[in-house]
Amino acid sequence: MMVKGIAVLVSMSVGWGAAAAWAHDDHPPKKVIDAEAHRPTPLPDRIILTWAGDPTTTQAVTWRTDTSAAAGYAEIAIATDGPEFVKQAVRVTATTSPFKSDLSECHYHSVEFTGLSPATKYVYRVGDSVNWSEWIQFTTASRDAEPFSFVYFGDAQNEVRSHWSRVVREAFRDAPRTRFFLHAGDLINHANSDGEWGEWFQAGGWANGMIPSIPVTGNHEYTGRLLGKSTVSNHWRPQFTLPANGPEALQETVYAIDFQGVRFVVLNSNEKQDVQTAWLKETLAHNPQKWTIVTFHHPLFSAAKNRDNPLLREAWKPLFDEYHVDMVLQGHDHAYARSGLVGTQNTETGTSGQDASGTVYVVSVSGPKMYPLGPAKNAEFVRVAEDTQLFQVISIDGDTLRYQAKTAAGKRYDAFTLTKSADGPNVLTEDMVEMPARMRNP
């Protein structure tokens, strides 16, 4: 039966092939140009949640329309079990800004919902009062250090629609209750390419409207690098509404967000690093949260060849050590590398990948562009990978942080647990006993 089945399939596929060839000759397929594929319309698109303020009482949303929408509005209510929330919905007027991209002109609209109740599910929609998005739900953070999970992605950067989309969607299926997505820089390849940003928003799709994002700037979010006139993508600030609690000169690229017992510190490893160092010290010194996770793009301990960042390491690692930063989440090297036990050596610098401070350093990649691991450097990490697209699910519950790296195909690739100790660094427990030897350093 099996053989017969295959034979039928083969003959059918020959038939379809012949028909397709005929159609192709008469009407060859035409590539849809970017200006068409990413054309704004009166209907809101690129809807994305971010935070500009306290996640317990605020939520920001940003979206795009064509220029026909002179004003933007958001409506919000506490979510109910049926549609009756609509009667309670409150309307908020958006800040609307015209924007000219390399493909088209559009309007970006943003609203920051404020005065929300903590740990509460809300429902909102955005539009121009006639053309609305669907009603979309989100939940505010708790004031308490309730357990939660988040997803961290290394660089998406290339072929974002065709190759990165499966990673973000697999992550969503793997951790559907993730409280946010953290993107550690190089979300796209060309800073001002509207088509590439369009692909990034298409990949996350409607999930971006219900799961907030914490975006980090990578070198590919900067333009004019070769001319020495580096500026952040013209899309960055219009499309992401982010905290203004960083240094003045680096607004919305350097910031801190406290979420249920964890301080997330976002740095910008592309420019004005010295300005950030003083701010970083203050931010770490006055931190009431139990856990501290720092994220930026260029890794302090590189995974790939000839990509060392000694100046960054000299500036920031002493502060990570002094204030016992728990984890550092990075990208840029298009490979995977995660430091481990006390005493693992960084062969290039002679310093430790994880030292007495207990900080765990991770470099990861979620998109399809791959670099080989630096051959001498494998020894400095507990777990490395090349040619592997990954996402990470990180869960914090009281004194315990559980970390898992999963491949694009959904296989668990790395896992460990950090446990707070009364005095001294966190205790790191390796959770992957089944690691293939070829990828593991003893």
Residues 45, 63: contact at Cβ < 8 Å? Answer: yes
Angle made by CA atoms 347, 351, 355, in degrees to the nearest 5: 125
Interacting span for Fe ion (CB under 5 A) from 115-123, 190-198, 211-219, 361-369: 211-219
Shortest Cβ 313–Fe ion spacing (Å): 17
d(CA 215, CA 230): 19
By C-beta, is 54 or 186 nearer to Fe ion? 186
By C-beta, is 186 or 386 nearer to Fe ion? 186
Residues 292, 265: contact at Cβ < 8 Å? Answer: yes
Shortest Cβ 20–Fe ion spacing (Å): 40
Strand bridging mode 262-266 / 327-330: unpaired
Asked if 218 interacts with Fe ion (CB under 5 A), we say yes
Shortest Cβ 200–Fe ion spacing (Å): 15
C-alpha Rg value of the chain to the nearest Å: 23
Asked if 221 interacts with Fe ion (CB under 5 A), we say no
Bridge partner residues of 234 (DSSP): none
Asked if 198 interacts with Fe ion (CB under 5 A), we say no
d(CA 51, CA 383): 32
Asked if 219 interacts with Fe ion (CB under 5 A), we say yes
By C-beta, is 61 or 365 nearer to Fe ion? 365
d(CA 214, CA 181): 6
The closest residue (CB) to Fe ion is 332
Shortest Cβ 220–Fe ion spacing (Å): 6
Asked if 406 interacts with Fe ion (CB under 5 A), we say no
Interacting span for Fe ion (CB under 5 A) from 70-78, 191-199, 212-220, 300-308: 212-220
Shortest Cβ 351–Fe ion spacing (Å): 23
Asked if 215 interacts with Fe ion (CB under 5 A), we say no
Residues 35, 103: contact at Cβ < 8 Å? Answer: yes
What SS3 state is found at 26?
helix
Asked if 332 interacts with Fe ion (CB under 5 A), we say yes
Asked if 377 interacts with Fe ion (CB under 5 A), we say no
d(CA 73, CA 243): 21
Residue 84 is which amino acid?
Answer: E
Compute how many other C-beta atoms are within 10 angstroms of the C-beta atom of residue 277.
17
| Phi, then psi, of 433 in degrees rounded to 5 | -75, -20
By C-beta, is 62 or 309 nearer to Fe ion? 309
**Binding test (CB under 5 A) with Fe ion, winner from 75, 186, 199, 221:** 186
Interacting span for Fe ion (CB under 5 A) from 51-59, 329-337, 352-360, 382-390: 329-337
Interacting span for Fe ion (CB under 5 A) from 318-326, 332-340, 346-354, 426-434: 332-340
By C-beta, is 186 or 326 nearer to Fe ion? 186
Asked if 109 interacts with Fe ion (CB under 5 A), we say no
Contact partners, residue 186, CB within 8 Å, separation at least 6 = 155, 156, 157, 218, 219, 220, 221, 297, 331, 332, 367
Asked if 273 interacts with Fe ion (CB under 5 A), we say no
Q: How many residues of this chain interact with Fe ion, rule: CB under 5 A?
A: 4
Q: What is the contact surface with Fe ion in residues (CB under 5 A)?
A: 186, 218-219, 332
